[in-house]
Structure 1
Amino acid sequence: MATLGLRVLLTSYPNLYAAMQYASAAYLIWLGGKILLGAVRKTYGKPASADLDRLTAWEAVRAGFVTNMTNPKSVAY
């Protein structure tokens, strides 16, 4: 959020901030449920390197850029 400069927008509209909090909470609940379901189904044993073999150079750069831009600590560095 800090990277995009949305601080002013969120402080000006408290309802928007509350909606963002609820959406974030829903996402974390969904993510936790997905992890628990994967543990029950035992699908957690897939090697991560199998997915990396299929990435092109551009896809790898794009994934790294998106990861760094959405990291809130990137503003500090």
Structure 2
Amino acid sequence: MLNLLFAVQFSNAEEPESPSEAPVIHKACDFRCSATSHKKPCLFYCNYCCKKCLCVPSGTYGHKEEYPCYNNWHTKEGGPKCP
């Protein structure tokens, strides 16, 4: 239920109108990246993935299987794109 809340809550997020505006940091991504020592890149990619997939898995690590879009998006090198 909580995962559905995250997906619904952030599905209507607005994009910044210009590059000078600060990026929107979703509360779900802030929590997802709270336990990492690489907070800045984690937040960047989490927000990027949240914007595309309209979801963020529960917890601070793992649980990607909850959302196939978030789980199956990979970098050119084949690694996971979403934290």
- TM-score, with length taken from structure 1: 0.23
> Which structure dedicates a bigger proportion of its chain to helix?
1
Q: TM-score, normalising length from structure 2?
A: 0.22
CA radius of gyration, larger in: 1
Q: Which has the higher contact order (CA 8 A, sep 6+)?
A: 1
